Structure 1
């Protein structure tokens, strides 16, 4: 009779051709399912609130918020990726080769779109802080939407090519029945590392370092009272944009903290055939970021808290709520508190 620490077969009737799993006690297994299911539900629910808030209230239809909307859509999709991860708790995949490929494709396209969106957010904040006089002309709603569409389309096409072998040969790289293995050719792994981590990471760090330098220099200028009268209006704009940059900076820093371990593990283990179950922790940490983003919005964005209150109270169904939120957002912008 097997003990919780012994390895058992995913498919006992297949004998040695079946993968093995680690048996956990019933209480531990139930606890893990509850935790992962809760994360999945919270991720979907909170990001859905962000999507509804930005989509419904026209006052929030700004280039920056459209980027946040794109990030929320990708985070919303990650909530469903968590469902697939639940099936890998014990290291066994029971959904078949087709769903394994779909899971791999979704698991790559959605985070890649998130990475691209965070890069766009960094660019948006860089222009807003470092070139505020031309921000309105350089960063428009149409340009932001075009960049978002290109980001998602590019991510889809790129990973279709990267995962070509897996799509054409579902389950062909599994070493045993019950495994969900992903194959990345060595050159594809290197390309993915460069375009999904090194280049985005470098761009984000460089741009936010520049934003930080500008913020520090402006703070020093304000303390020393070296302010030219003709520049007062632009500095007022900068102060507002700097607050938005600080808020989004928290999102960016948390994102990088959750992303970096995944690629560090990829570098240390090399490329080739990878069993998804062996990467559960670092993958889970990266996906957990999708739950953290809307939580960050709750603490840093008063308008989001107001919108959530309207949604939960169902006041969003009448025009009164729209008017109240509009006035509240206008008040926040007037006093530079958004």
Structure 2
């Protein structure tokens, strides 16, 4: 036996000084190193993008609108994913040991599920908000206010937190009776709760978003046709603008629905096939990271496509936000 084989056969422990320590499994090699670099880059991008959204909406008074409050709530939830959930997951990929202690093992799943649940709630609220704005634009300002939206966001986060505690409590997470050795943090979910989560926290959000965005798209098409009818005999430029607006709306709604379904369907399908997929460590982590990626793409969909976001990012990068009157900058440039 050569030296390399002998080193590989040496049993390593997470905490060598503790007799009840778990065995350590270190995942090295070029493929894993490349994977860690890519995932770390995704985590950093998620944090930066969502921080830009949070700073923009919080700093500029012109952006203090009900719709932007929802985008802010979404960005906060997605920031938690990029700042806490993703790095801890990367740490577990590198090393099978859990180094954050029992308290960390209690708290991490709470933050994980809370961020994902709050993100989904925000997506639903955004869909409802856009439906009200499109279906009844004249009465939107009287129905929806910043104060009402703040209360709704608080209720959404509170409901998400309550659901997460129920979900973890009834799966015996806070008892930790299933921990076999020191340095292990695992979460076992009962199959009945997998089904309940699918029925309560996937099918309704998916159905609501699909229905509302379908209605929004139909209304947008109807409005675009009305504009074209008014412009008969008018300038071709306006007709092209109405067509491009309709196309842009269709593309945006298509991206929203496609990303949501792409990121979440694999996770729930794999949960239903728990016994087969859970044993495939790499496949399960790819599915989990696909779900986390929704937090990376959300700011691209809901913020970067807006002109005010591009203007606010310019002010942030140019350090103009430190000017005394920067909070009152006009981010909506008139275009003729």
Matches for 1:1-338 after TM superposition, within 5 Å: 1-2=4-5, 11=14, 18=22, 21=25, 23-25=27-29, 27-79=30-82, 80-90=84-94, 92-95=96-99, 96-164=101-169, 165-170=171-176, 172-174=177-179, 178-225=183-230, 247=252, 250-269=255-274, 279-296=284-301, 299-319=304-324, 321-323=326-328, 325-326=329-330, 328-329=331-332, 331=334
Question: Given the superposition, is the C-alpha separation of residues 91 and 268 from structure 1 closer, same or farther in structure 2, using an over 3 Å criterion?
Answer: farther
Deviation string 1:88-113 (CA, Å, 9 cap, x unpaired) is 21461322343233221111111000
Aligned mates of 1:298, 1:117 — CA distance in 2: 14
State TM-score, norm by structure 2: 0.80
Which range is displaced more, 296-305 or 281-290?
296-305
Question: Given the superposition, is the C-alpha separation of residues 97 and 7 from structure 1 closer, same or farther in structure 2, using an over 3 Å criterion?
Answer: farther
Q: What's the offset of the Cα at 1:60?
A: 0.6
Aligned mates of 1:197, 1:252 — CA distance in 2: 13
State TM-score, norm by structure 1: 0.80
**Equivalent residues, number:** 318
Which range is displaced more, 281-290 or 4-13?
4-13
Question: Given the superposition, is the C-alpha separation of residues 8 and 126 from structure 1 closer, same or farther in structure 2, using an over 3 Å criterion?
Answer: farther
Aligned mates of 1:107, 1:41 — CA distance in 2: 17
Judge conservation of contact 1:63–1:140 (CA < 8 Å) in 2.
yes
Task: Mark the runs of 5 or more structure 1 residues left unpaired by the alignment.
Answer: 228-238
Judge conservation of contact 1:183–1:274 (CA < 8 Å) in 2.
no
When the two chains are superposed, the root-mean-square deviation of aligned CA atoms in Å is 3.6
| Higher strand fraction (1 or 2) | 1
Judge conservation of contact 1:51–1:73 (CA < 8 Å) in 2.
yes
